[in-house]
Structure 1
Amino acid sequence: MSNTVTRGVRITVEPRYVPDQSEPESQSWLFAYHVTIRNESEVTVQLRSRHWIITSGEGKTEEVRGPGVVGYQPTLKPGEQFQYTSGCPLNTPVGTMHGSFQMVTDQGEAFDAMIDPFRLAVPRVLN
């Protein structure tokens, strides 16, 4: 799990392995991750884009950038939150993700809300 606060924007990520959509014999493991973005600041913020860094168990890194998350660019007033679930395929049973969401305040100030690293791992693969 990851729980990070940047300028009053709390981002919590809870990953899980999806065995029924994975094919270990083909070196394909799918992980889902549930993200909660909560505005704990005193200003309204909007998520404009995302940047993920995905690292496989072999150390190979892939970067994913794009507008919004799951088709949305949510605006959050103080105290509001937005949740979504997405997925990440890996060719190893273990990996990590981290990144940031590019945010802008209602005053037009841009900043990166950081997402601390979290582990993607098949249960019982790691001790």
Structure 2
Amino acid sequence: MVTAITEGIKVTVETTYQAEFSSPHQHHYVFTYKVKIENNGPHTIQLLRRKWEIHDAGDATKTVEGDGVVGQQPILEPGGRHEYVSGCNLKSGLGKMRGSYKMEKLFDGKVIEVQIPEFQLIADIFDN
């Protein structure tokens, strides 16, 4: 589990290798990651966009951008939080991800970039 805090917005990520959905002999490794976003700041915020850098030891680095997270643009009051689970496929069992969220402070319209901490994607087959 890794955590980053930007302007009072705490982002925590926990990853899981999904062996039952992976096919190592076909160079297909599936990971899920659970993200928890906590608004520890004084103002209501809304998550507008996401940007991910996905590094795969067996492939080129990819950048993925889009609106919201898993089809949502959650609003977090002070003290509020939002959790979601998403996934990533790699060609190798080793990789890492990091990124950022564009969030708007609803009281003044200021858009901030909230860091998503870098986290490792390591298939259980490498733990032996």
Query: Structure 1 length normalisation: TM-score?
Result: 0.96
- 1:57-112: CA deviations, max 9, x gaps? 14620000000000100000000000000000000001000000110001100011
Q: Distance in 1 between matches of 2:60 and 2:123?
A: 18
Identity of aligned residues (%): 37
The number of residue pairs the alignment matches comes to: 127
- 1:25-77: CA deviations, max 9, x gaps? 11000000000000000000000000000000146200000000001000000
The 3 A distance-change label for structure 1 pair 59 and 25 is: closer
Aligned counterpart, 1:118: 119
Aligned counterpart, 2:38: 38
The reply to whether residue 12 of structure 1 matches residue 12 of structure 2 is yes
Matches within 5 A, 1:39-118: 39-58=39-58, 60-106=60-106, 107-118=108-119
Gaps of 5+ in 2: none
Q: Distance in 1 between matches of 2:29 and 2:50?
A: 23
Gaps of 5+ in 1: none
Quick one: which amino acid aligns to residue 37 of structure 1?
I
Q: Distance in 1 between matches of 2:15 and 2:122?
A: 9
Q: Distance in 2 between matches of 1:74 and 1:49?
A: 10
SS at 1:79 equivalent: coil
The 3 A distance-change label for structure 1 pair 124 and 27 is: closer
Q: Distance in 1 between matches of 2:29 and 2:59?
A: 16
SS at 1:60 equivalent: coil
The structural deviation recorded for 1:123 is 2.1
